[in-house]
Amino acid sequence: MKTLFQKIIDREIPAKLAHEDELCIAIHDIAPQAPVHVLIIPKKLIPCVAEATPADQALLGHLMLTAAALAKKLGIAESGFRLVINNGRDGGESVPHLHVHLLGQRPLAWPPG
């Protein structure tokens, strides 16, 4: 069965796109936790970061660089932003498809959650 994100990637479910390239898609979160809340999702299904392999190294780096480029594009690079990757139930992962949360445009407290 396809994940929610696979359905979005395959255009079976609509989403507000922030970015797309050959390796990933970035969408605006439907329940944003900050004024800017974008999900950067690899097109390759990796269920969670703990299941990534050395073969995924370049893809994982691409997700980080895409997040940085989006932060600039969305005007939050200078003021600051947070990148979050949840892993597993206790880590807050709700969709079993690795994705990076890009959050910004408000002060973000530490520690989170």
77 occurs within a structural domain: yes
9 occurs within a structural domain: yes
Can you give the pLDDT at residue 6? 97
40 occurs within a structural domain: yes
Can you give the pLDDT at residue 112? 77
* Cis? peptide before 96, omega within 30° of 0: no
110 occurs within a structural domain: no
Domain that holds residue 54: 4-104
Separation of alpha carbons 31 and 34, rounded Å: 9
The CATH number that applies at residue 46 is 3.30.428.10
Looking at the structure of the chain, the number of domains it has is: 1
pLDDT of 105 > 80? The answer is yes
109 occurs within a structural domain: no
Confidence of residue 113 (pLDDT cuts 50, 70, 90): low
Annotated catalytic residue, options 28, 37, 62, 99: 99
Model-level pTM?
Answer: 0.94
112 occurs within a structural domain: no
pLDDT digits (tens, 9 = 90+) for 32-67: 999 999 999 999 999 999 999 999 999 999 999 999
Is 99 one of the annotated active-site residues of the chain?
A: yes
